Amino acid sequence: MSRKYPIGIQSFRKIRKGGYLYIDKTEIIHRLIQSGQYYFLSRPRRFGKSLLDL
């Protein structure tokens, strides 16, 4: 069974209830912060700008 990507869906509830693919990267971000090093996180223009906003 293939799962759908939640393209354009902003609601976490809709993603979970709709059976969309969701990958939690919280652990990876935590490890990056705890390492104390600088990282260059490349991304296409206007893509995912709000992912790391606190």
pLDDT value at residue 17: 92
List, in order, residues 6 or more apart from 4 with CB less than 8 Å away.
18, 19, 20, 21
15-27 per-position pLDDT tens digit: 889 989 988 888 9
pLDDT of 42 reads 75
Q: What is d(CA 28, CA 44) in angstroms, rounded to the nearest whole number?
A: 20
Alpha-carbon span 35 to 9, nearest angstrom: 32
CB atoms within 10 A of CB 32: 15
Q: What is the pTM of this model?
A: 0.47
In angstroms, the CA 43 to CA 20 distance is 23
